[in-house]
Amino acid sequence: MADRKAVLVGGGITGVLTARELALAGWDVTVLEAEHVGAGSSSRTAAGIRQQFSTPGTVRGMRYSVGFYKDFARETEDGQSPIVQNGYLFLYDDPKQWAGAQRRVEMQHGAGLVEVEALEGDALFDRFPWVGRDAVIGGTHCPTDGFLHPHLVYNEGARRVRELGGRVLQNAPVTGAVTEGGRLVGVKTPKGVFEADLFFDCTNAWTRRLSRVLGCEELPVDPLKRYLWFLQREGAMTAAELQAMPLTICPSGLYCRPENRETLQMGKKHDTPPQVDFTYDDQDLIEPEFSHKGGLDGVPFELWMELAEVLPPIADFGGIQATTCGYYGTTPDHNPFLGYDRALGGLVHLVGFSGHGAMLGPFTALVAKSLAEAGQDVPSVVIDGFDVDVTCFRIGREYDHSEQMVI
Ligand SMILES: Cc1cc2nc3c(=O)[nH]c(=O)nc-3n(C[C@H](O)[C@H](O)[C@H](O)COP(=O)(O)OP(=O)(O)OC[C@H]3O[C@@H](n4cnc5c(N)ncnc54)[C@H](O)[C@@H]3O)c2cc1C
C-alpha cells in the first residue's frame, strides 16, 4: 500500500489524468467527483489539440501531450486511440498578423515542432482547395495537431486509475474542509471525510465555489459560456474531404473541424458575463440567439455565412443541425493556474484552462506530479531533456504574458 495519499477533487480530464500520473508514481489516489466522471466541460468540448502555441515552453508541453495521447491507446481497454491527427490550420488575412505567424513558426521549429509549416499561394490552396483564394493570404499548418475523443480520455483515464489501485468516487461532492494549523488534512463529502497528505483542486469552472467551501484563496477563474454548432455536409465537399479536414481557424477566430464524415463542428467565442454560480443544467442551457433553431436571425446562421466566406464550399451545406455548450474556466492571461494555494497548506490548484484543458491534460498531470514530489512550486519540469519553464502558470504571477492564440 502506498504511504502517500492524494485526493483529487473533480473527475474531468484533469482530475483523472493527474490521478493516473500520481498512481503510477506510487501515490494512493482518490478522485472525488460531485456528479459523474465527465460531468463538466470535459464532455462538452471541441477537444482540439495543437502544439502551435506562442511560447517555446507551451509548444514543448503540448508536444508532450500529443505524444501522451498517441501512447494512451495502449492503455485503453480495446486499444482505441483518443487522438485524431488531422492537423490544425490557422488562416490569416492581415499582413501584420501573417508576419507574426511566420515568426511564431520559426520559434516553434526551435522548440522542436519541426513539422509546422507556413504556407502561401499555391502551396496553401492546392493542399487545401476548400480555402477561398480571395479570403486569406497565408496559413500555418501542423499535421500532427488534431482533436481528441474526450469520452475516451476521461472514461478510460478513470478505468486506468482504478486498475492502478486508485478510487474514483462519483456522486461525492466536496462540501467542507478539515484543517489543522493552516493545512488542509481532510475534505468532507456525503460519503464521509477523506484524509490525505495532498489535495488537488481539479474543478476548473467551479474553482471559485470550491475555494469558498475549503476556505482557501479564490483564484480569478471566470466561467464563460461557449457554444458549438453542427452543420450537415452537402454540395461539392465530399465526405472524404470533410473527414480529412484539419481543425481550421479563420482570421476572425471562428473555427471548425469534422465531427464525422457528414457533420462539421463550428465554434466561436463571444462576449458574455461570467456565471460563477452556474448549475449543472446551465451547462446545457442554450440562449435563444445562440440556438440553431433561431433561423436566419440567429448567431449560428451568421457564423455559417462568415465561415463560408473563408471556406466557400461550406455555403452549400445542408443546414445547422444541433447546438451544444459548456463553460470555459478563463483566467486573466488565458494561462492556467498550476500551483500551491498561498493561504491553505496541502492544496494544489490545477484550474483555469481557458479553453485548453483537454489538450493540456497530460502536461498538467506531469506538472502536478512534480509539484507533489517537490512539496512546493517548481520553476520547471523536464520534457525530452529540456527544462520547460512553468512559472507562467504560478498563482500570484503578473499577467504580462498572455497566451496570444486563444479561440
Ligand atoms: C465549447 C467548448 C469548447 C472547448 N474546446 C476545447 C478545445 O478545443 N481544446 C481543449 O483543450 N479544450 C477545450 N475546451 C476546454 C476543455 O473542455 C476544458 O478546459 C477541460 O475539459 C477542463 O477539464 P477539467 O477536468 O479541468 O474540468 P471539468 O471537465 O469541468 O471537470 C471538473 C469537475 O469538477 C467537478 N466538481 C465541481 N465541484 C466539485 C466539488 N465540490 N466536489 C467534487 N467535484 C466537483 C465537476 O462535477 C466536474 O466534473 C472547450 C470547452 C468548451 C465548453
Going residue by residue through the chain (407 aa), what tens digit of pLDDT does each one get? 468 999 999 999 999 999 999 999 999 999 999 999 999 999 999 999 999 998 888 899 999 999 999 999 999 999 999 999 999 999 999 999 999 999 999 999 999 999 999 999 999 999 999 999 999 999 999 999 999 999 999 999 999 999 999 999 999 999 999 999 999 999 999 999 999 999 999 999 999 999 999 999 999 999 999 999 999 999 999 999 999 999 999 999 999 999 999 999 999 999 999 999 999 999 999 999 999 999 898 999 999 999 999 999 999 999 999 999 999 999 999 999 999 999 999 999 999 999 999 999 999 999 999 999 999 999 999 998 999 999 999 999 999 776 655 55
Distance 42 CA to ligand 1 centre (A): 4
For 306, the 3-state DSSP assignment is helix
Identify the residue whose cell numbers are 452537402.
234
Best mutation site among 32, 171, 184, 206 for ligand 1 pocket (most ligand atoms within 8 Å of CB): 206
Report the pLDDT value the prediction gives residue 93, as an integer from 0 to 100. Answer: 98
Best mutation site among 204, 254, 269, 270 for ligand 1 pocket (most ligand atoms within 8 Å of CB): 204
The cell for 294 is: 433561431
Indicate if ligand 1 lies below 6 Å from the C-beta of 323. Answer: no
CA distance linking residue 72 with residue 81, whole number of Å? 7
CA distance linking residue 267 with residue 323, whole number of Å? 10
Q: Would you say the CATH fold of 84-144+222-329 matches that of 5-68+150-221+332-393?
A: no
- Per DSSP, helices labelled H in 111-252 are 121-125, 150-163, 207-214, 239-244
Q: What are phi and psi of 394, to 5 degrees?
A: -70, 150
Does the domain spanning 5-68+150-221+332-393 belong to CATH 3.50.50.60? yes
Q: What is the pTM of this model?
A: 0.97
Fold (CATH) for 84-144+222-329: D-Amino Acid Oxidase; Chain A, domain 2 (3.30.9)
Tell me if 172 sits within 8 A of 187, measured CB to CB.
no
Distance 181 CA to ligand 1 centre (A): 32
Pick the residue whose CA is nearest to atom 41 on ligand 1.
Answer: 174
Q: For the chain, first and last CA: distance in Å? A: 44
The residue type of 64 is Y
Q: What is the dihedral of CA 14, 16, 22, 28, to 10 degrees?
A: 140
Best mutation site among 21, 33, 45, 83 for ligand 1 pocket (most ligand atoms within 8 Å of CB): 45
Indicate if ligand 1 lies below 6 Å from the C-beta of 204. Answer: yes
Q: How far is CA 214 from CA 9, 189, 328, 339, 364, in A?
A: 11, 12, 22, 16, 22
Q: Which of 137, 143, 98, 95 is nearest to 310 (CA)?
A: 137
CA distance linking residue 282 with residue 277, whole number of Å? 10
Indicate if ligand 1 lies below 6 Å from the C-beta of 336. Answer: no
Distance 12 CA to ligand 1 centre (A): 6
Indicate if ligand 1 lies below 6 Å from the C-beta of 40. Answer: yes
Task: Give the residue extent of every domain in the chain.
Answer: 5-68+150-221+332-393, 84-144+222-329
Indicate if ligand 1 lies below 6 Å from the C-beta of 210. Answer: yes
Distance 357 CA to ligand 1 centre (A): 7
| Ligand 1 atom, smallest distance to 350 CA | 26
